[in-house]
Amino acid sequence: MTTNRSLPVSKHFRLQQLADGIYAAIHQSGGGAICNAGIVDLGDRTLVFDTFVAPHPAQDLRAAAEALIGRPVNAVVNSHDHNDHIWGNQAFGPEADIVSTETTRRLIVTTGGIEDLDVYMADVEARLEVTLARLQASTDEGERCEHALWADEYRSILASRSILRVRVPNITFSGRMAFHGTARSAELLELAGHTASDAVLLLPQDGIAFVSDLLFVECHPYLADGDPGALLHALQAISRLAPRLVVPGHGPVGTADSLAQMEQYVHTLDGLARQMADAGEAEETIDALPTPKPYDGWLVASFFRANLHFLYRRHLQLQGAQPA
């Protein structure tokens, strides 16, 4: 990592200053961060939100936080249990507490981050080889961008394979947790929807929210590990807080309009899946459906059909649970 006259520079992410002492670290194409993260100066302590998919990009995140704020990182928040947000935990020293909800900690202990680390490591080289072959064969720009993103993830993990260990949160909370610093206060709010437990970092004095994978911007979200109804409730709860800036788990920094667009995405796909299930259409027809506007230009287009398959099966299950 290098430092220019304004902000530290990393090949893994791009820093964006949102307010005095508040920074978003946005994944950079070709880098190994994969998800977004945040750095917050509380005045007497430094807080980091999420740690990327592997230790090497997380080391740059830690160095950036120390260069920007001028002190060690004191607390790291894991927003949820998915590996692209937690496998960088070990890059932060013992002076940094790892904070998550109680449910997220339990899931991390159980799975090590959505996929068992040993299982993931056993076939990551094969995944990279297949992905690179698909990247070379594809002529569609959207497909190429998606394959390149997965290749970035696999390369990032392979680069850290010899050292990567799952560091488990040592402080947990349920519902709400507050940090009161000399410059600002921050609040963690437990919601759900992307997973069984998603932590949102609220900075009320600044009108900023770090919401992780409850929001994707210009990118198809991944719905199949959560609950679409709970996700809609979470998005509405965040909207009621009226943040002026919202940092998603993936994609550029958004606004209140981004939350509304994510809500509409869930409604649109859920309605389409319900219509298909109610009409008795075969699930296989999903694979031939074109991606509707305005989502046809979003990244990770494969999630569109994966989400529809998930929602279609969910509606079939709900139909089966209803009395005749």
**The pLDDT of residue 118:** 85
User: Rounded to an integer, what distance in angstroms lies between the CA atom of residue 295 and that of residue 291?
Assistant: 6
Number of Cβ within a 10 Å radius of residue 169: 23
What per-residue confidence (pLDDT) applies to 4?
A: 45
Residue 145 makes CB contacts below 8 A (sequence gap 6+) with 29, 299
CA 209 to chain centre: 14
Cα separation of 265 and 193, whole Å? 14
> What residue ranges define each of the domains in the chain, with the CATH number in brackets?
2-113+164-318 (3.60.15.10)
- Name the average pLDDT for the chain: 94
Sheet strands (E) in 74-205:
75-77, 97-101, 171-173, 176-180, 185-191, 198-203
Residue with tokens 């459906």: 289
Residue 115 is predicted with a pLDDT of 66
The whole-number pLDDT of residue 111 equals: 79
Predicted pLDDT at 100: 98
Q: Beta strand 97-101 with 171-173: parallel, antiparallel or unpaired?
A: parallel
Kindly report, residue by residue over 89-125, the tens digit of the pLDDT: 999 999 999 999 999 999 999 876 666 788 889 999 9
Cα angle: 7, vertex 13, 17; to 5 degrees: 40
Helix, strand or coil for residue 183? coil
Structure tokens at 240: 């009621």
pTM of the complete model: 0.94
**CA–CA separation, 302 and 292 (whole Å):** 13
List, for residues 143-163, the tens digit of each pLDDT value.
Answer: 999 999 999 999 999 999 999
Instruction: State which residues of the chain have pLDDT below 70.
Output: 1-5, 112-115, 321-324
Question: Sign of the CA dihedral 21, 26, 32, 38?
Answer: positive
Q: What is the CA radius of gyration of the chain?
A: 20
Q: Please enumerate in sequence order all residues whose Cβ is within 8 A of that of 26, keeping only pairs 6 or more positions apart, or say none.
A: 13, 14, 15, 16, 36, 252, 253
Written as one string, the DSSP assignment of 191-244 is: E-SSSS-EEEEEETTTTEEEEEEEEESSB----TTS-HHHHHHHHHHHHHT--S
The sheet that has 22-27: what strands, in order across it? 13-19, 22-27, 37-41, 46-49, 75-77, 97-101, 171-173
Q: What is the pLDDT of residues 41-65, one digit of tens each?
A: 999 999 999 999 999 999 999 999 9
Determine the Cα–Cα distance for residues 37 and 24; give it in Å rounded to an integer.
6
